Amino acid sequence: MKKFMIRFFPIIILFLIFIPFLHAGEESSSLFTPKDLMNIKSGNEIQISPNGQWIAYTVYVNRSATDKPGPAYKELYLVSTLTRNVKPFITGAVSISSIQWSPDGSKVSFLMKRGDDSNTQVWAIPIDGGEAIQQTFFESDIDKYQWHPTENKIAFTAYAPLSAEEKAKEKKLKDKGYDFIFFEENLKNKNLYIVDIPYNNSSIKQLTKDITVNNFVFSPNGKTIAAAAITKNLTDYDYMFKKIFLVDIQSSTVSQLTNNPGKLGNFYFSPDSTKLTYVGALDQKDHEYSQVFVVDTKTKEEKNLTIKDFPGHVAWVAWKDNNTILYLASEKGCPTLTLVPATGGPHTIILNSKKTGVTFEKEKLSYTKDFKYMTFIGSTSTTPADIYFWKPGQPQPERIVTLNPWLASKKLGDQEVIRYKARDGLEIEGILIYPVDYKKGEKYPLIVDVHGGPESHLTNRWVSRYGSPGQVLAAKGYVVFFPNYRASTGYGYKFALEGYKDPAGKEFDDIADGIDYLVNTGIADKERVGLGGGSYGGFAAAWFATYYTQYVRAVCMFVGISDIISKRGTTDIPYEEQLVHSGDVLEKMWDIELKRSPIYYAHQSKSAVLIMGGTNDPRVHPSQSLEFFRALKMNNHPAVRLVQYPGEEHGNRKQTSQIDLLNRMIQWYDWYVKDKKPMNPDAMPPLDISDCYGL
């Protein structure tokens, strides 16, 4: 026995020495990384078959780092509600959108562009397999479409095709260098058409003119279409001046049904085709649609069914039956599904994410006509958008497809809703992700991630993405805070209105108070705080880099606002900005908008500033980034960098741009927040991060 022990003792010693290295490798592989984040698959669209036996859904699949630059692919799958078997239908380098079931449930249709020189058209694939078959052959891209409920027809929206003569003239002018832009003039309308299936050019009927139709639905009897339309084809009009029109299919008569103020959400006919329910704004300054309405299609008599002082926002609406309306809302930041009588009465919550732990999003749910089966794309704090199946009445929905099973092997930071008091006593909520292996009593570097809008909010679901890498930061030892500051949606009209005529006021004070709260509770290290966000969140980043610079060592500003005055003159949504945010014409707001612009305080910045954005952004013009960069540089700022992404607009669509932004942001935080490196223009983080590109 002694001889045996002596013989193997050196091997045992070597093994014991090697154990820590084994554990270190295991620990490293179990941590959630930037590469993991870019490998996440998420559900995008979902539709249940008329008989409830199949669910069609699309999945976002990010391109690999070495693939050609472009947006995520969108693949089509089916899953059986009877067997739970998943059938991949169209996968690979494809982009499938607007999935629908044909009325008889025999096939799934969708929009697809096949070939670089082709137009986006309606395609369909039989449920029992086979090749996708093109359904429409229109001469321009189809934007929206729907199957006629009782006939073999498809209605769709598209721009009128150019004649051969017009095409030749356009080409000639372009070839000769005369292809000028007449800004916001010479606009073309998106028309509504209907055509027989099988497709026949001679059967195409144009139903609208002189308006642009951005969305529409058939009445169940097939005689009428309700169309959300605008008189001028501009993004700003789509945001603020969209109304619902009724289109008689037989006569092509168009009549306005609603005169809703401000923003408009989705809408549906009642099963008997006599009423319409829709989601709309309470008034013009309501910065997001928030109310559920019902209107009689003949008398135009309208009623608001929303609870008075409702502490949330209605996001989506439909019908359970002729007498009952179903709506999805976020109530105090918690998604709920609710039933209400069409004549008014008690509101009954039938699915509450606070109880189930599963959140759901607007227009990412579908149910059978008899309301026996429902499916939706759901998320939890530790799982991204998966496919869920629910029988109304049951307490818990079932996750029927798990898109990222490998996530179970990853160590994630715990996530919870936190509440704190703002300086004026109002309770504010936010989402907090703890560092992986968090130890109570230790102080951690803090990253504050500010959502955009501000007409948006975070629920207790999966919140990590390329511009908000919460779980990646948690794996690196950060605590991450997502504040639902005043002006956020999900907490009611009054809460959302707090930012009206008060940019960067109470809304950003709430964020500062949240930082103080986390520092005072002992979880956050006051000397190691960073803050970032995109769009309005980028505005917050610039504000904290200047006005509130004492709070943060570093910021990452993405497509953010630095000068409200020039932003108003360069955005593609000037009416939306004026009517729901600034609240008045610029001439009456020079002083407040100057003093609520981060560039006004650029001279006092002591925070390291990383500015990022696309070169083609129509919402927050790239000049906002350049102005901020110049203002800081001209004040001899020791740590400022501007990174521009060619061709990107208001957010990065190409995976190459997303990968760079994700890794560059983390590098900036590690350098200045975690490691507290001094701010020196000659010792900034390296420009070259190509080792993160996976090339």
Can you give the residue ranges of every domain in the chain? 36-138+358-409, 411-692
**Secondary structure (H, E, C), 523-568:** CEEEEEEEEEEECHHHHHHHHHHHCCHHHCCEEEEECCCCCHHHHH
**DSSP string spanning 50-109?**
TTSSEEEEEEEEPPPTTSPS-PPEEEEEEEETTT--EEEEE-SS-B-EEEEE-TTSSEEE
pLDDT in tens, 64-80: 999 999 999 999 999 99
Neighbours of 80 (CB within 10 A): 14
Out of 3.40.50.1820, 3.10.20.740, 3.30.460.10, 3.40.50.720, which CATH number does the structure's domain 411-692 have? 3.40.50.1820
CB-CB contact of 76 with 90 (8 Å): yes
**Crossing angle of helices 536-546 and 506-520, rounded to 10°:** 70
- Residue 130: the pLDDT is 86
Strands 427-433 and 444-450: unpaired
- Residue 496: the pLDDT is 96
Full-prediction pTM beyond 0.85?
Answer: yes
- Residue 8: the pLDDT is 31
* Record: fold of 36-138+358-409: Lipocalin (2.40.128)
Residues of the chain predicted below pLDDT 50: 1-26
Distance CA 229, CA 610 (A): 40
- Residue 129: the pLDDT is 79
CB-CB contact of 120 with 139 (8 Å): no
End-to-end CA distance of the chain: give it in Å, rounded.
55
C-alpha radius of gyration, the chain, whole number? 27
